[in-house]
Chain A
Amino acid sequence: QKEVEQNSGPLSVPEGAIASLNCTYSDRVSQSFFWYRQYSGKSPELIMSIYSNGDKEDGRFTAQLNKASQYVSLLIRDSQPSDSATYLCAVNKGDTSGTYKYIFGTGTRLKVLA
């Protein structure tokens, strides 16, 4: 079992709808959580970071974190065809080295249908 789990999809939503992407993690000491968008053959692009339980909103994006359930999600409102990409959930635990390597999920492929 991977430390960070995502449904690989594809998740298909119509244009203008809300896309809901989910991620679970296994290590309770995980401290911070990130959503990246990755287009095919391109590098991951940071969309959201979240550290505390609850919701965090940035434009059309809302990240939700529930540490008790070890669950983090990303909502994309008013989905656009340009949002079609793979969304990677990344978790870091922090450690004594002072650096914070990411553990990635396998990503969820989102398709927004025009």
Chain B
Amino acid sequence: AAGVIQSPRHLIKEKRETATLKCYPIPRHDTVYWYQQGPGQDPQFLISFYEKMQSDKGSIPDRFSAQQFSDYHSELNMSSLELGDSALYFCASSFQGRYEQYFGPGTRLTVT
């Protein structure tokens, strides 16, 4: 079965640079969630989109923005990167009306 696709899988950036993470949900899934997981921590909800509209917002820094496109893929844009942004970034998708979320393999971001 098709799964959530994330790219890139690994990304190394320097402080103050920008990064763009991409997420392609499971086909026919219309809701996308972004989570950030620091080392040894649980995933923290950042932001979600339903039908290309932002539907909920969590602990996402103002330096980050995201959007969902007409094909339902989503991009997380991160600017003025800080060392503390180094983490695993997961995208999850679900079908509206269903509670289960399916996670992609994640993007490991390292800021040096």
Determine if A100 and B42 form an interchain contact, defined as CB atoms under 8 angstroms apart: no
Stretch at the interface among A14-22, A52-60, A62-70, A90-98: A90-98
Determine if B101 and A102 form an interchain contact, defined as CB atoms under 8 angstroms apart: yes
Given A44-B90, A49-B100: A102 in contact with B43 (beta carbons within 8 A): yes
* 8 Å CB contact of B42 from A34, A46, A105: A105
Residue of B nearest to A33 (CB): B99
CB distance from A28 to the nearest CB of B (A): 17
* 8 Å CB contact of B55 from A43, A44, A99: A99
11 A-B pairs with CB atoms under 8 Å apart are A43-B106, A44-B43, A51-B99, A88-B42, A95-B56, A97-B48, A97-B50, A97-B56, A100-B94, A100-B101, A106-B42
Binding site for A on B (CB under 8 A): 31, 33, 35, 41-45, 48, 50, 55-56, 58, 88, 90, 94, 96, 99-106, 108
